């Protein structure tokens, strides 16, 4: 049975895509397959714990099955002429252009199949590369780590990495137009470990979603698993696997005023603790429950059984 190698950007970057790669490799290893993550420097991530093995790109052998990020042209080009079987793990289809570069398709690099992390991604890839074979294998939410804290604060948590301007504009407008919420505490999450993120989300009543160009939001689902009431941007026009009308208070893309109004509405709902609040939080947790570890292990196993056999 061939070794499965998920190639990755350097793991020092705090990004959900890196964590999803390590999740797949961990699940494959637990299922008895030989699987590793290969990065340029061979260093394991500092910001989350994983039992998955990490090696360097130089360790790759010609009989390994390679999996590339959707947005790394350099890696795809580097191994295009090798005899390895090749796949792409597409987590954000809006960055496919960065991976294909001047090529028409991943097939031009010898890629035989794209595994998609969400149904939204599958839909996009059917349009972008209609001739490419596609599969589905999501990430999972660690429900043992991401859960409500025993004591929750009237606090707004957010991850501003993709919308640093918007978060400041929304925060300023909330203070000006809704003075009763001017002194609500904020938990700004930046360059934090996974455990620190889980602690902040678990302690916060509200999560301000600052998603942008995302087909499937890992942090958004982690916030829902923690029981946060979610408001803000869903990150993809029309919603996505993780963001839809019933599980959050959503604003149109780049609509600062609308986002602020929805955040204020979330604050009111938290104070009232009425049926609408309970129902929306419950729907969010139900959304996150669909991405449990056991279900992802089953789907990842089924996908790879179809690629390399049992």
Q: Give the confidence band of 310 by pLDDT, cuts at 50, 70, 90.
A: confident
Please indicate, yes or no, if residue 268 is contained in any of the structural domains.
Answer: yes
User: Same structural domain for residues 253 and 302?
Assistant: no
Provide the pLDDT for residue 84: 98
pLDDT of 45 strictly over 70: yes
Strand boundaries in the chain, DSSP class E:
4-7, 35-39, 54-56, 65-69, 85-90, 111-116, 133-136, 153-158, 185-188, 204-210, 229-233, 249-251
Longest dimension (CA), the chain: 64
Torsion of CA 81, 25, 122, 231, to 10 degrees: -130
Report pLDDT digits (tens) over 83-103: 999 999 999 999 999 999 999
Structural domain includes residue 146: no
Q: Note whether residue 159 is domain-resident.
A: yes
pLDDT confidence bin for 242, thresholds 50/70/90 = low
> Which residue, 124, 116, 72, is CA-closest to 90?
116
Residues 34 and 84 in one domain: yes
Q: Is residue 78 predicted with pLDDT exceeding 70? A: yes
Average pLDDT over residues 29-54: 97
Whether residues 246 and 123 share a domain: the answer is no
Query: Where residue 291 falls among pLDDT bands split at 50, 70, 90?
Result: very high
Do 126 and 166 lie in a common domain? no
CATH number of the domain that 207 lies in? 3.40.50.2000
Assess whether 303 and 256 both reside in one domain.
no
240 pLDDT exceeds 90? no
Segment 50-64 shows an average pLDDT of: 97
- If DSSP codes are grouped into helix, strand and coil, which group holds residue 291? coil
Do 279 and 302 belong to one domain?
no
- Whether 18 contacts 115, CB under 8 Å: no
Residue 81's domain comprises 4-139+292-308
Mean pLDDT of 260-280: 97
CA nearest neighbour of 144 among 203, 202, 204? 202
215 has pLDDT over 80: no
Question: Does 108 fall in a domain?
Answer: yes
Tell whether 14 and 131 lie within a shared domain: yes
- Is residue 7 over pLDDT 80? yes
Closest C-alpha to 242, from 275, 268, 207, 276: 207
pLDDT score for 15: 87
For CA atoms 252, 257, 261, 266, the dihedral sign is positive
Q: What's residue 243's pLDDT?
A: 66
Can you give the pLDDT at residue 235? 80
* pLDDT tier for residue 74 given thresholds of 50, 70 and 90: very high
Domain assignment of residue 144, yes or no:
no
> Do 96 and 73 touch, CB atoms closer than 8 A?
no
Q: Tell whether 184 and 285 lie within a shared domain.
A: yes
Mean pLDDT of 75-87: 98
Between 69-78, 235-244, 289-298, the lowest mean confidence (pLDDT) is in 235-244
Taking the C-alpha atoms of residue 163 and residue 254, their distance in angstroms, rounded to an integer, is: 9
| Count of alpha carbons within 13 angstroms of residue 132, beta-carbon side | 28
- Cα–Cα distance measured from residue 229 to residue 206, given in angstroms and rounded to the nearest whole number: 5
Q: How far apart, in whole angstroms, are the C-alpha atoms of residue 273 and residue 293?
A: 30
Using CA atoms, how far apart are residues 216 and 243, in angstroms rounded to an integer? 8
Q: Are residues 93 and 176 in the same domain?
A: no
The reported pLDDT for the residue numbered 236 is: 72
Q: What percent of the chain has pLDDT over 70?
A: 97
- Residue 53 sits in the same domain as residue 97: yes
Q: Are residues 223 and 302 in the same domain?
A: no
Residue 240 in any domain: the answer is yes
Burial of 244 (0-12, 13-18, 19+ CB in 10 A): middle
Place 300 in a pLDDT band, splitting at 50, 70 and 90: very high
More confident residue, 33 or 16: 33
Of 143, 161, 196, nearest to 13 by C-alpha is 161
Q: Mean of the per-residue pLDDT values for the chain? A: 95
Examine residue 14 and state whether it is found in any structural domain, yes or no: yes
Question: Which of left, alpha, beta for 259 (phi over 0: left; psi -120 to 50: alpha)?
Answer: alpha
Number of domains forming the structure of the chain: 2
Same domain, 56 and 178: no
Predicted confidence at residue 214, as pLDDT, reads: 83
Q: How far apart are CA 19 and CA 159, in angstroms?
A: 16
In angstroms, what CA-CA distances link 199 with 112, 150, 213, 247? Answer: 41, 11, 26, 21
For residue 216, what pLDDT band results from cuts at 50, 70 and 90? Answer: confident
């Amino acid at each position: 049975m061939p070794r499965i190698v998920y190639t990755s950007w350097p793991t020092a970057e705090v990004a959900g895509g890196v964590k999803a790669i390590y999740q797949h490799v961990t699940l494959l290893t637990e299922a008895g397959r030989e699987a590793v993550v290969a990065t340029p420097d061979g260093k394991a991530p500092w910001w989350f714990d994983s039992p998955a093995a990490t090696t360097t790109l130089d360790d790759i052998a010609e009989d390994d099955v390679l999996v590339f990020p959707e947005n790394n042209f350099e890696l795809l080009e580097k191994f295009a002429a090798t005899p390895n079987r090749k796949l792409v793990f597409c987590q954000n289809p809006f960055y496919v252009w960065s991976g294909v570069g001047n090529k028409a398709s991943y097939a031009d690099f010898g890629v035989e199949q794209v595994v998609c992390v969400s149904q939204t991604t599958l839909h996009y890839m059917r349009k972008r590369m209609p001739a490419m074979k596609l599969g589905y294998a999501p990430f999972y939410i660690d429900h043992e780590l991401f859960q409500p804290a025993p004591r929750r604060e009237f606090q707004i948590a957010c991850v501003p990495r993709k919308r640093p301007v918007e978060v400041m504009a929304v925060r300023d407008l909330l203070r000006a137009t809704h003075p009763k919420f001017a002194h609500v505490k904020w938990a700004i999450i930046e360059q934090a470990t996974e455990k620190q993120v889980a602690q902040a989300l678990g302690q916060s009543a509200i999560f301000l979603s600052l998603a942008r160009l995302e087909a499937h939001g890992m942090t958004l689902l982690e916030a829902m698993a923690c029981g946060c009431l979610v408001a803000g941007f869903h990150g993809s026009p029309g919603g996505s696997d993780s963001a839809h009308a019933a599980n959050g208070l959503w604003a149109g893309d780049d609509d600062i005023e609308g986002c602020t109004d929805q955040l204020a509405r979330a604050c009111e709902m938290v104070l009232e603790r009425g049926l609408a609040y309970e129902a929306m939080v419950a729907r969010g947790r139900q959304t996150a429950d669909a991405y449990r570890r056991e279900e992802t292990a089953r789907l990842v196993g089924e996908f790879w059984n179809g690629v390399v056999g049992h």
